[in-house]
Amino acid sequence: MGKITLVLGGARSGKSTYALSLPGKKKKVAFIATGEGLDREMRERILKHQKARPKDWKTFEEPRDLTALIARIGDNYGCIIVDCLTLLISNLILAKDKEKTIREKCAAWLLQLEKKKAKIILVANEVGLGIVPLTKLGRDFRDVAGRINQLAAQEAQEFYLIAAGIPLKIKG
């Protein structure tokens, strides 16, 4: 059974950088990127993240369907990193998925990951420390992302909260 580690933090907290340090000496690392380069600025961010990863890691880009991708990956990797759950949730909401459907999808791929032999690292944004969004879409997103973060934290054997680049171990 794979050990799941959740790395949660705010924007620019250092969560992705910390997550990249966790595989250690694992020989084969699968990196699942959920972001989409829909505009120039986001494409530049994605490129910067790509350059920060070791060259020998295999990158999979999947903005919505982690279940199918995880099945394709199989047990060929010693570590699987998913960065980030928050963008995945955003993509699903913008694709008009309802909260119940998103929860079901997330529960399904979490179950798949739990069965892997690999070390699993999940990265997500902490969405509950900010102001209440002005729009219904913003509030819906915050609520769904917060609930998925709770689900991931419950399933994880380790949980780190990152603040200003400093990891605080919450669980495990």
- pLDDT tens digits for 4-51? 999 999 988 999 999 999 998 877 999 999 988 888 998 898 888 888
Q: Residue 157 maps to which CATH number?
A: 3.40.50.300
Token couple for 171: 């669980």
Catalytic residue among 15, 49, 105, 116: 49
- Domain encompassing residue 49: 4-171
| Cα–Cα distance list, 89 to 1, 24, 33, 69, 167 (Å) | 25, 28, 13, 16, 24
Number of domains the chain contains: 1
Which residues of the chain are modeled with pLDDT < 70?
1
Active site residue 106: no
The DSSP code sequence of 66-119 is HHHHHHHHTT--SEEEEE-HHHHHHHHHHTT--HHHHHHHHHHHHHHHHT-SSE
Mapped onto helix, strand or coil, the DSSP state of residue 6 is: strand
Most distant CA pair in the chain, distance: 46
The Cα–Cα gap between 101 and 92 comes to: 9
Q: Would you say the pTM of this structure is higher than 0.75? A: yes
In this prediction, residue 1 carries a pLDDT of 65
Under 8 Å between Cβ of 66 and 114? no
Letter string b/e over residues 34-59, b meaning 16 or more CB atoms within 10 A of that residue's CB: bbbeeeeeeeeeeeebeeebeeebee
In this prediction, residue 108 carries a pLDDT of 94
